[in-house]
Amino acid sequence: MGSYDEADSGSIGVINDYKDSQPANPPMEEPKVVGAAAAQAPIISSYNDKIRPLLDVIDRLRLLMVMKEGIQLPTIVVVGDQSSGKSSVLESLAGVNLPRSQGICTRVPLIIRLQNHARQGLELYLEYNGKTVPVEEPQIATAINIATDEVAGPGKSISDIPLTLVVRKDGVPDLTMVDLPGITRVPVHGQPDNIYEQIRDIIMQYITPKESIILNVLSATVDFSTCESIRMSQQVDKNGERTLAVVTKVDRAPEGLVDKVTADDVNIGLGYVCVRNRIGDESYEEARKEEARLFETNAHLSRIDKSIVGVHVLAQKLVRIQANAIAKCLPEIVKNISAKLDANVSELEKMPKALTSIADATQAMMRIIQAAKESLKKLLWRGEFDEYPEDNTKHGTARFVEMLNRFSDELHNCEESNLSKDFLTEEIKGLEDARGIELPNFLPCEAFLRILRRKVERISYLPIKLSEKYWDYIDDVVMSVLTRHSEMYYHLKVSAKGAAHNLVQKLREQSINRVKEIVEMEKLTGYTCNPDYMMEWNKLMKQQDHFINKISGTNMRPLPCSVDLEGLGEIQIEHLRKHSDVSILQQAFDLKMRMVAYWKVFKVRLVDSMALHLRYHVHNLVHNDIDEIVKELMGPDGHGIKMMLVESPAIVAKREKLKNSIKVLKESKDSVAKIMDRIVAYDACLV
């Protein structure tokens, strides 16, 4: 950001007009007035009638509190450590008495608006809490203290709510400044323990915006680098491009001051101004004469360049910096006000109008439900995610595939799908339990079914878990979509979410019951017409003789402990040698291979069944069942619709806030437009 001490090439032309309209010794140049002449001269020339409106419009925007709308204004912010002489500097600029005390005297931000007034006399008034209070000069300090007590409370506590002091007086500089509480680390009696943190937060709030000009008041009696106000300003203005330092109490520590202000060890980009403040009962005229005499006659202070000494120099410097800052910032302020106004108008238009009749409420409800229904079709059925492009959790079809794949992996990797563990043990026991009067080498169907039922029972929790998880996900998506579409209607949102939850829970229960039926059907009988079953069984049975030979160990020494079977891997066989009946081993192997082939078909079929079942129910939900929400909302007596006529307090508050904001922004835009029109008209006359 460029320095405010130089005119910006893109600044408004009227600033240059101000310079050109002045006499040969324009006020924008550093002052050369010294001695008695400086003491007798007015503190600064006034803005001409083309410059004054610039500051007036900024003051008007500040009065409208446009900064609460996020619109930053160019502001001279006065900061300093406690007892650095801030109030004295401001008194010298304003020519009026401000509150003074041994402790903290500025407890709230004090906006001081100085306006040069050609007429005789002084006009003073305070603005706070929405009221304007005229003040007489002898009572100004008392009036500020009373107003401060009203805003911040009695005692020593502070507040970030500002007061505004308007000073209209002949000869004062046209300036607007914000005086902030002096920085103190040690609480005095009546102050909270965190007084430093409170003051720091207020100061940082005002000096952080890049539009702020920081007037850092430093006492000549201290090392500048140790000042807390310097540390704070450096946090937000590291290079000092918008910081001006005013050095007070020069009469108390004149020795070495010239070196301190010329060395600039603390990066004060806008330079230094050294001043002597009023002491005791001195009048302002007497104080200025004494200041001029001091800088001329003191052996140390007279060495300081006259272009950086005196209250009149400080006033001129502030006027120039303020004018350039306004000129530089005003186009951006206009742009920001328009953008904020457009955004608020758009947001207000999007808000629902207050419902005044049952017909309006019914129409609004149907519109919301239909919009939610369409959103759910996109998310859960069609796989269109334009409404939630960044929120992957709402991409329903993709999340369903993930759940289904995870279910398939769990099914294929579960204990029941481990084909080599305790090989043939369960089959041999099943054959022995099913033994009866039968033809030799006949494989009993009951043995197969017993093993199948046990295996299906052991994995039955997996499809139920998938169904529960999926319906929980559906419930979350439905709640989120309904919330988004009914956000502006609090009572409808609450009722619709309740009705939707009830519907989803009903469908969830139906779905889980259907999954249990699917599991029971699989346990009831073993059946498939899938040709892969016979192909797989035949391929596996070709290894039977090889397997039996490995167990018997004919002509094998030592006896093998395992055998490799295609499709099954390495199988441990030592535990099978205790069965001397080869026929039972052959039957067990046959039964095992049938189960292996059938289990492979079963797993694929179960995954397919779950996919089709859940998709079918979701289709019904988003196309048909969702309409049941309307019936529940309507109720038998239409009570649900009547509830919609009562607006949420949050919505009412938001609508009023937007209306008030729009009103402020429109007034701000009108105020700025008037001055911009004058600037354009004036620039046209120059061409």
Token code pair at residue 39: 């003491």
Cβ–Cβ under 8 Å, residues 194 and 117? no
CATH value at residue 495: 1.20.120.1240
Of 333, 368, 400, which marks where a domain is finished?
333
For residue 525, the SS3 value is coil
Strands (E), 270-373: 272-274
Residues 200 and 112 both lie in one domain: yes
pLDDT tens sequence across 514-542? 999 999 999 988 899 999 999 999 999 89
Of 333, 350, 367, which marks where a domain is finished?
333
Cβ–Cβ under 8 Å, residues 511 and 472? no
CA distance 438 to 379: 59
Number of independent structural domains in the chain: 3
Task: Tell me the residue range of the domain where 663 lies.
Answer: 652-686
Give the DSSP per-residue string, 6-32.
Answer: S--TTS-HHHHHHHHTS-SS-TTSPP-
Q: Given this model, what pLDDT does residue 351 score?
A: 80
Confidence check: pLDDT of 316 > 60: yes
Q: What percent of the chain has pLDDT over 70?
A: 86
DSSP tag of 212: E
Beta strands 110-116 and 175-179 are antiparallel
Residue 374 parent element (H or E): helix 358-376
Confidence check: pLDDT of 49 > 80: no
Whole-angstrom CA distances from 7 to 14, 429, 605 are 11, 100, 80
Whole-angstrom CA distances from 526 to 314, 370, 588, 592 are 100, 46, 17, 14
Residues 256 and 389 both lie in one domain: no
DSSP tag of 169: E
pLDDT tens sequence across 136-186? 888 888 888 888 888 888 877 788 888 899 998 888 888 889 998 888 877
pLDDT tens sequence across 221-278? 988 888 999 999 999 999 899 999 999 999 888 888 998 898 888 889 999 999 998 8
User: Could you give the dihedral angle defined by the CA atoms of residues 540, 546, 549 and 550, in that order, rounded to the nearest 10 degrees?
Assistant: -90
Stronger pLDDT, 10 or 605, i.e. the higher one: 605
In a domain, 43, yes or no: no
pLDDT band at 102 (very low <50, low <70, confident <90, very high): very low
Residues 319 and 387 both lie in one domain: no
Lowest mean pLDDT among 15-19, 90-94, 343-347, 559-563: 15-19
In a domain, 150, yes or no: yes
CA distance 297 to 301: 8
Residue 178 CA to chain centroid, in angstroms?
29
Token code pair at residue 130: 């929405």
Residues 254 and 378 both lie in one domain: no
Average pLDDT over residues 650-656: 83
Average pLDDT over residues 617-642: 80
Give the type of residue at 571: I
Residues 462 and 503 both lie in one domain: yes
**Residues for the chain: how many in total?**
687
Residue 361 CA to chain centroid, in angstroms?
33
In a domain, 584, yes or no: no
pLDDT tens sequence across 104-141? 457 888 899 888 877 777 889 999 888 889 998 888 88
Q: Given this model, what pLDDT does residue 470 score?
A: 96
Token code pair at residue 321: 């910096």
Average pLDDT over residues 399-428: 87
For residue 153, the SS3 value is coil
Residues 114 and 131 both lie in one domain: yes
Q: What share of the chain is helix, strand, coil (3-state, %, to 5)?
A: 60, 10, 30
Q: Is the sign of the CA dihedral 18, 23, 25, 31 positive or negative? A: negative
Average pLDDT over residues 641-660: 79
Lowest mean pLDDT among 7-21, 217-231, 290-304: 7-21
Residues 472 and 613 both lie in one domain: yes
For residue 215, the SS3 value is strand
Which residues are CB-contacts of 401 (< 8 A; sequence separation ≥ 6)?
A: none
Cβ–Cβ under 8 Å, residues 155 and 26? no
In a domain, 287, yes or no: yes
Residues 497 and 641 both lie in one domain: yes
DSSP tag of 214: E
Of 317, 333, 349, which marks where a domain is finished?
333
CATH value at residue 219: 3.40.50.300
For residue 218, the SS3 value is strand
Find tokens 């108008």 and name the residue.
345
In a domain, 432, yes or no: no
Residues 367 and 259 both lie in one domain: no
Stronger pLDDT, 49 or 248, i.e. the higher one: 248
Residues 182 and 120 both lie in one domain: yes
Residues 271 and 389 both lie in one domain: no
Cβ–Cβ under 8 Å, residues 232 and 344? no
Q: Given this model, what pLDDT does residue 373 score?
A: 92
Residues 219 and 133 both lie in one domain: yes
In a domain, 527, yes or no: yes
pLDDT band at 479 (very low <50, low <70, confident <90, very high): very high
CA distance 171 to 45: 7
Confidence check: pLDDT of 19 > 50: no
In a domain, 87, yes or no: yes
In a domain, 144, yes or no: yes
Confidence check: pLDDT of 629 > 80: yes
For residue 111, the SS3 value is strand
Cβ–Cβ under 8 Å, residues 162 and 206? no
pLDDT tens sequence across 204-221? 999 999 989 999 999 999
Task: Report helix angle 582-623 to 490-524, nearest 10.
Answer: 160
Cα-trace Rg, the chain:
43
